[in-house]
Amino acid sequence: MQRIEFSLMQQTIQRALQKAGLDEGDARTCARIHTESSCDGIASHGLNRVARFVDYVHKGWIDIHAKPELEKSLGAIAIYNGHRGIGITNALFAVEKAAEMAKEYGVGIVALKNSSHWMRGGSYGWHAAQQGMAAICWTNTESCMPAWGGKNTRIGNNPFVMAVPRHKGPIVLDMAMSQYSYGKLQVTRLKNEKLPFPGGYDRDGNLTDDPGPIETSMRILPTGYWKGSGLAIVLDAMAALLSAGSPTNEIDKIGEGSCTGASQIFMVFDPSQLGGAEFTERMADSVADYVNQSEPAENSRDVRYPGQTAAANREQNRRLGIPVDETVWDEVMRLAE
């Protein structure tokens, strides 16, 4: 397995993004987020997304010069128009603005309409938690999953993020409403591996753990079956409602992919104004420790809380280098030439 040192990967991605037209600051920020995602073990939304992002920029589906614009302010909630700008920089702006509001009101909510793919949603949960803030964030997407009982795509996989700050390591949940994201299907296919559990249906309607046929049929399985389907639908409606933005059915009409026109919500809370910093730390430690002390099930070595595996991957890959698919790495290097 080829491993790439963190700074080399970040510098290479930055060059590729500057070649695509991004200014130095935005390219550096996006390269850092992509590299951090791969370093945490989420290559599907890190290095593996770079070439696709560059393609969408060249097609004009993402406006690399656009900046979020305030449309309405209601005290602890603000609505911004992302103008189909860069998803990463739009989302970082939104979570930072929500954190500023939380310091004043205890809670800050930024509803961002008309944005684009935010890449790894967990990045914004980690960003808030590392500042001592708690966060709840989600986005809608173009339709990429059938509603429960349906055959054709009508709902997004609508990633959902929750983050709880903790000095020993934040508790961060980052999950799509599909059993596996399309990025995870791609990564598994590139490794010539099967999914740990069935992830969707092939063209003939057979449940399968083979990622290739699921990518082809686009019949990914909602997490929790009908429950994941229901959550995806409500997250879509709520994101559009709070941002006065587009639901999935309107994003589909744009037809440009990359979540072009997506509605995204960033809710940030200041624990110091709620139970206080000492309570927050003690409570979060108790939750993490209680989970870690579980008796492992058959064929399981340990039991982890959300975010613990990402933190372990980060430590190892910072030390040893970030594992890459060589074909993907070669493609990004060509973009950087």
Same domain, 161 and 110: yes
Indicate whether 102 and 160 sit together in one domain.
Answer: yes
The answer to whether 178 touches 228, Cβ cutoff 8 Å, is yes
CA angle 185, 190, 201 (to 5 degrees): 35
pLDDT above 80 for 127:
yes
Residue 181: its pLDDT value, please?
Answer: 87
Residue 245 within a domain: yes
Burial class (CB within 10 angstroms; exposed 0-12, middle 13-18, buried 19+) of 333? middle
Task: Give the mean model confidence (pLDDT) for residues 269-288.
Answer: 98
In a domain? residue 204: no
**203 is a domain residue:** no
| 231 and 161 part of one domain | yes
Say which CATH number the domain at 99 has: 3.30.1370.60
pLDDT digits 0-9 by tens, 2-19? 999 999 999 999 999 999
Residue 228 neighbours by CB under 8 Å, 6+ apart: 148, 177, 178, 179, 222
Same domain assignment for residues 54 and 126 = no
How does pLDDT run across 280-289, given as a tens digit for each residue? 999 999 999 9
Which is catalytic among the residues 45, 83, 117, 167? Answer: 45
- Per the listing, tokens 């860069």 go with 86
C-alpha span between 106 and 19 (Å, rounded): 41
Least confident span in 176-185, 221-230, 246-255 = 176-185
Mean per-residue pLDDT, 196-216: 95
- 22 plus 171 within the same structural domain: no
Query: Per the structure, how many domains does the chain have?
Result: 2
- 58 belongs to the catalytic site: no
The reply to whether 83 and 156 lie within a common domain is: yes
Q: Are residues 84 and 153 in the same domain?
A: yes
Q: Is residue 191 part of a domain?
A: no
Over the chain, what is the mean pLDDT? 97
Instruction: With respect to residue 301, please indicate whether it lies within any of the assigned structural domains.
Output: no
Residues 73 and 168 in one domain: yes
Q: Are residues 29 and 154 in the same domain?
A: no
Examine the domain organization and report whether 10 and 154 are in the same domain.
no
The answer to the question of residue 132 being in a domain is: yes
26 domain-assigned: yes
Looking at the structure, tell me whether residues 91 and 172 fall in a common domain. yes
Give the 3-state secondary structure of residue 325: coil
CATH number where 328 lies = 1.10.1530.10
> pLDDT band at residue 183, thresholds of 50, 70 and 90?
confident
Q: How many helices (H) and strands (E) does the chain have?
A: 12, 14
Tell me if 228 is assigned to some domain.
yes
Q: Taking the alpha carbons of 24, 25, 28, 29 in that order, is the dihedral positive or negative?
A: negative
226 in the same domain as 101: yes
Q: What is the pTM (predicted TM-score) of this model?
A: 0.95
H-type alpha helices, 20-86: 24-39, 50-59
Residues of the domain holding 330: 2-59+313-336
